[in-house]
């Protein structure tokens, strides 16, 4: 599909789901000269809107994403960027993302009645790394679909990749330089862990309990894959990262406990949780907690659960 764009074209960019992983997308469009209009951070009103527009059993991150889209639609945008990420590449092979992520452009079109003839139009970039690396696909998309010049695209992709590396470095850094007396690994999807509203401030709250937090983003991919050896084959790429990281952290003595953070309505979690129990939790002495949230999760109960887990680890130490 060809899109009609110029340097004044405004592209709406929802702050949710894979935008927490692929910083390069936003940077790429900026570098190509588009005005990128981002939605605000998740708030109660964004969440309420997302809930009202989706069916009950939709997972919380998708509900939040729909709320962000609704906010963007009240702005004067020409396009709404909704990528379709089918497969991703890891060092061990190619893996699917989750069906809800694969179907995202269709879901957004259906909920908001968007089509070829409406404004904004959906800017859909399909990424299937079995066929083509994400960066190559972005170059092709900008050249063929956005009709941008070769030199502009080359420059935009190199800046975007640089920013992506900086972002990944930032994710892999220690959260601050205090000396904590406990270390807990929080593992889950970045759009839950790093969204302060959806996570009910999980990282902050653990820090307040004198707990250092690390996430799977500090673990090199080859270590995660090594930890997956001997496991049941997982065909979802991001879940592979989660499972491998939990397994990895169980063998790190400096890690005192692990929180697998997830949301109600997450299909892959139903399979993964069973594997974590069978293959890791029952074979390891490391405390592991499944922490699940939904839109009804209250802050008080949430804090009580975290405090109990931390107290239990401290008592065992």
Nearer to ligand SF4, 159 or 271 (CB): 271
Q: Which of 240, 303, 309 is nearest to 97 (CA)?
A: 240
Q: Tell whether omega for the bond before 314 is within 30 degrees of 0, i.e. cis.
A: no
Supply the minimum distance, in Å, between the C-beta of residue 265 and ligand SF4: 6
Q: Which of 66, 71, 8 is nearest to 38 (CA)?
A: 71
Nearer to ligand SF4, 57 or 76 (CB): 57
Nearer to ligand SF4, 252 or 292 (CB): 292
Supply the minimum distance, in Å, between the C-beta of residue 150 and ligand SF4: 35
Supply the minimum distance, in Å, between the C-beta of residue 238 and ligand SF4: 7
Distance CA 283, CA 278 (A): 8
Q: Point out which residues bind ligand SF4 (CB under 6 A).
A: 59, 61-62, 98, 100-101, 189, 263, 266-268
Supply the minimum distance, in Å, between the C-beta of residue 98 and ligand SF4: 3
Nearer to ligand SF4, 106 or 311 (CB): 106
Supply the minimum distance, in Å, between the C-beta of residue 104 and ligand SF4: 8
Nearer to ligand SF4, 235 or 308 (CB): 235
């Amino acid at each position: 599909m060809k899109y009609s764009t110029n340097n004044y074209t405004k592209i709406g960019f929802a702050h949710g789901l894979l935008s927490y992983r692929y910083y390069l997308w936003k940077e790429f469009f900026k570098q190509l000269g588009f005005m990128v209009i981002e939605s605000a951070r998740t708030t109660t009103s964004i969440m309420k809107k997302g809930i009202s527009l989706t069916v009950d059993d939709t997972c919380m991150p998708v509900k939040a994403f729909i709320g962000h889209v609704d906010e963007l639609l009240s702005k004067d945008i020409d396009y709404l960027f909704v990528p379709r990420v089918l497969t991703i590449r890891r060092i061990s092979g190619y893996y699917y993302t989750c069906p809800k992520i694969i179907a995202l452009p269709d879901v957004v079109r259906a909920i908001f009645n968007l089509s070829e003839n409406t404004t904004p139009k959906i800017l859909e970039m399909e990424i299937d790394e079995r066929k083509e690396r994400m960066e190559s696909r972005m170059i092709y998309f900008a050249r063929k679909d956005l009709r941008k010049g070769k030199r502009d695209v080359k420059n935009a992709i190199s800046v975007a990749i640089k920013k992506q590396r900086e972002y990944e470095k930032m994710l892999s850094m220690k959260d601050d330089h205090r000396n904590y007396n406990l270390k807990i690994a929080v593992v889950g999807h970045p759009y839950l862990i790093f969204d302060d509203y959806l996570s009910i401030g999980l990282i902050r709250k653990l820090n307040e309990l004198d707990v250092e937090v690390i996430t799977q983003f500090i673990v090199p991919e080859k270590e995660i894959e090594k930890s997956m050896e001997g496991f049941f084959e997982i065909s979802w790429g991001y879940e592979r990262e989660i499972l491998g990281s939990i397994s990895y952290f169980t063998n790190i003595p400096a890690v005192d406990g692990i929180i697998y953070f997830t949301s109600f309505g997450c299909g892959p979690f139903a399979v993964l949780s069973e594997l974590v129990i069978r293959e890791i939790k029952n074979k390891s002495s490391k405390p592991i907690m499944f922490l699940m949230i939904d839109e009804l999760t209250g802050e008080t109960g949430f804090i009580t659960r975290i405090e109990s887990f931390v107290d239990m680890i401290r008592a065992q130490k």
